[in-house]
Structure 1
Amino acid sequence: MSQKHGIALIGFGRMARISHFRHILCHPKLDLKYVVEKDTAMASNFVKQYRDDIVVVPPSDLQTVLEDKSVDATFICTPTDAHEEYIKASLNAGKAVFCEKPLTTDEASTQTCYAEAKKKGLLLFCGFNRRFDPSINSLHRRIQEGEIEQIKNIRTIVRDKTLQPKEYLKTSGGIFADSVVHEFDLAGWFIGGLPSVVYAQGHAWFEEVRELDDVDQALVVMKYPSGAIVTIDACREAKYGVDHRMEIHGSNGVCLQQEGGYPTSVVSLGDNGELRENRYADYYALWKDSFEAQVEHFVDALEGTIL
């Protein structure tokens, strides 16, 4: 096998720990060399459970990490408001970049980051993991092949089981930039282009969300120039469990992503009625395969095997 690609993981919050850290460690072509995290004690204790040769440093030592020629790419998993700084520092050091969505907090800085990557001839990858989910990928393929012909409307439900901690919500960018942004991305991917009309309403059922001037329930309606209409029903907390479903209605049929919240599709029927497994308890459990697949895609892009 060819030499592994050295990786520096910047930011070591919940998603970095349960997703990217594990997928990098398990990938045969990646070698995690550094974790950059302000809470070095927490990060060190966690990392040592898996390997003792990964160096944990605070953000103040980032330049030392970026000057290490054995580091080929960075994975940026910090709060969104720090993405731009770390992206530019990584690109300036000649490193490829994987960055969690959204890339930055506004359009101008996002365009600047991509322009800088293009100028330097470096890979800048924004991690919209749901594009790599097998079911979502199948929907896209069927649409591209013209199975349902002209898309008339898309209906999406996206609900998480448990409200995220307030500390996370503070830096999340709000429900639209943090959660519903996935549905914005998929709608544009399926239909093509951007909506011409967007209408949204929301409400904060939780006091901690109101204090942040955010909402935990939202309904979005978008109309595209083609005439397609998209509705998104989003909620930060659903007691019955994670629930992600999608219906795409076209002029020649409908594609359904059904039961997007169960480990299996098995249902048993008997004297006790209809029985099935409990829904997934958290977001990552539902989308685990997609997180792994997007890392695989990043490696392929890093090696130039895909565009």
Structure 2
Amino acid sequence: MASQKFKDISPYKRTIGTPPEDYLYSKYQKDLAAQATTSTNVINVAIFGIGRAGTIHLTSLARNPRVKILYIVDDIVEKHKKLQDYWSLHDTKFLTSKQSDVIYSDPKLNAVVVASPTFTHEHIVKSALNAKKAVFCEKPIAEEREVCIELYKLAKKVGKPLLTAFNRRFDPSYANLRDRVHKGEVGHVQTIKVCSRDSPLPTIDYLKCSGGIFHDCCVHDIDMLCWVLGEFPIKVSSTAYAHVEEIKAIDDFDTVSVTLLYPSGTIGMIDLSRNSCYGYDQRLEAFGPRGMIRADNEQPIHCVDSQVGLNGIKTAPIWYSFPSRYRLAYQNEMEHFLDLVEGKVTEPFVKGHENLAVNKIASAAEESARTGKFVELTWTKEDFEI
């Protein structure tokens, strides 16, 4: 009878609710609620390029109940039949880039997803916006900063969303860390660190057209720090080295360390590598006078470990590469774009000036690595207006 006084009321009379950390159950609840709706809105989409990123977006869109893929554009014609059969895209038209004008003139088409090589982005984005289509484009939307600005202005003029997203912002663990920092859990952040080590080592053919490690990889880490802190750095220092001879031969780096000083006094640190033999190493930490918050690596099978012989405890490896580690982030990113297309949200989660600012910081980091000097950054009103 000692615990009788602690007896609770019936669980049917209590409201506990779903813990916010269980993002998969929250998604299930949304799917369940959709069974009771009568909405027949379908977003008609065209996808340019089915390579590394394009395959990820195709996966999200082909399985999305509010999307119909009208067109796929890829210049490797041999892929068309395989894609059509694998995804059962028998109502989808497969085109090459030379045939893509038909896409812009189709009044039924609502949105364009651009995942083709970087040098093609500008033309596709401009053509799509002029045709009054919403655009999601992998970074960058153009190779020149001034052209990027003009394209963002064009999107505003025609009244259609242009989203160039940093997918890590849509990752639940990183979003949770940022929200808690903004609530003041650790106080004023004194240091913030990101570790980003790639797996597997990209091919040389990819690296040759990637834009280099600073603009291909480091931009994600820079964006993460600036997004969490809500400010841009005023001083950047970087050291870089190429341990892999083939990467050195194309005048790129495989190992980078960046230090950033922010106006509030926060010091940011980036530890970046192209080649992590043990998996896709992704960690983020914010430290302040009240404590520390860390988003650590995830494991695909995190609840099994073993002890065999005298080898100690063995656990599963971390995720192997970015498509698996950030699978949910990519899905959330595309859902956000579709919400923009439908007008369910009016402001993009990643704004144009943020993309341009991150590229400006990445250029400063590369300049520092190549010159061995600190690079100071100044920010004007024009940097925050497009």
Cross-structure match for 1:44: 81
Match in the other structure for 1:211: 249
Equivalent position SS for 1:71: coil
Map of 1:133 onto structure 2: 171
Residue matched to 1:90: 128
Out of 76-85 and 236-245, give the one that drifted further: 76-85
Distance 1:252 1:44 in 2: 57
Give the total of aligned pairs: 305
Matched residue, 1:147:
185
| Inter-partner Cα distance in structure 2 for 1:223 and 1:179 | 20
Q: Which residue of 2 aligns with 1:76?
A: 114
- Which structure would you say has the larger Rg? 2
Distance 1:205 1:194, change over 3 A: same
The alpha-carbon deviation at position 264 of structure 1 amounts to: 4.3
What do residues 156-193 of structure 1 show as CA deviations (whole Å, max 9, x unaligned)? 11012211112211221111111111111111111123
Deviations 1:35-57 (A, max 9, x none): 11111222332232212221111
Q: Which deviates the most, 38-47 or 183-192?
A: 38-47
Which of 335, 338, 343 is 1:296 aligned to? Answer: 335
Distance 1:209 1:118 in 2: 40
Alignment of 1:236-251 (within 5 A): 236-251=274-289
SS at 2:111's partner residue? strand
In structure 2, the partner of 1:252 is 290
Structure 2 residue 277 is the aligned partner of structure 1 residue 277 = no
For 1:169 and 1:306, locate their aligned partners in 2 and report how far apart those are by CA, in whole Å.
36
Please give the alpha-carbon distance, in whole angstroms, between the structure 1 residues aligned to 2:181 and 2:147: 32
Whether the 8 Å contact between 1:267 and 1:274 is mirrored in structure 2 is no
Q: For each residue in 1:248-295, what CA deviation from the matched residue of structure 2 results, as whole angstroms up to 9, or x when unmatched?
A: 11232111012x142244363756422211222221111111011111
Paired residue for 2:344? Answer: 305
Cα pair 1:80 1:104 within 8 Å, conserved: yes
Question: Residues 174 and 284 of structure 2 are in contact (CA less than 8 Å); yes or no, is this contact kept in structure 1?
Answer: no
Is the Cα contact below 8 Å between 1:11 and 1:35 reproduced in 2?
Answer: yes
Query: 2:130 is aligned with what amino acid?
Result: N
Match of 2:85, as an amino acid? K
Amino acid at match of 2:78: A
The whole-number CA distance in structure 1 between the counterparts of 2:139 and 2:180 is: 25
Structure 1 residues 183 and 62: CA distance shift in structure 2, 3 A: same
SS at match of 1:156: strand
Contact 2:135–2:163 (Cα < 8 Å) also in 1: yes
The aligned counterpart of 2:300 is: 263
CA distance in 1, matches of 2:72, 2:281: 33
Q: Which blocks of at least 5 consecutive residues in structure 2 are unaligned?
A: 1-38, 347-386
The correspondence for 2:148, drawn from 93, 110, 115, is 110
Provide TM-score, normalisation by structure 2.
Answer: 0.76
**TM-score calculated relative to the size of structure 1:** 0.94
For residues 118 and 125 of structure 1, what CA distance do their matches in structure 2 show? 12
Give, in whole Å, the separation in 2 of the partners of 1:220 and 1:253. 23
1:28 paired residue number = 65
Q: Take 2:302 and 2:189, find their aligned partners in 1: how far apart are those partners?
A: 27
2:74 touches 2:97 (CA, 8 Å); kept in 1?
Answer: yes
Counterparts of 1:285 and 1:32, CA distance in 2 = 23
Amino acid at match of 1:152: Q
Match of 1:5 in 2: 43
Equivalent pair of 1:242/1:261 in contact (CA under 8 Å)? no
> Equivalent residue for 2:5?
none
- In 1, distance between residues paired with 2:168 and 2:80? 27
Partner letter of residue 273 of structure 2? C
> What's the CA shift for 1:20?
0.5
**Please, what is the CA RMSD of the aligned residues?**
1.6
Cα deviation, residue 104, structure 1: 2.9
Matches within 5 A, 1:183-194: 183-194=221-232
Distance in 1 between residues matched to 2:143 and 2:186, nearest whole Å: 35
Quote the offset at 1:119 in angstroms: 1.0
* Equivalent residues of 1:139, 1:255 under 8 A apart: yes
Measure, in 2, the Cα distance between the counterparts of 1:247 and 1:101: 25
- Where 1:215 maps in the other structure, the secondary structure is coil
Residue 381 of structure 2 is matched in structure 1 by none
Q: Which amino acid aligns with 2:321?
A: D
**Residue 209 (structure 1) shift:** 1.6
Structure 1: stretches of 5+ with no match in the other structure:
none
Structure 2 CA distance, aligned partners of 1:224 and 1:107?
A: 23
**In 2, Cα distance between equivalents of 1:79 and 1:201:** 28
Question: 1:47-97 CA distances to partner (integer Å, 9 max, x unpaired)?
Answer: 322122211111111111111111100000012232222111110111000
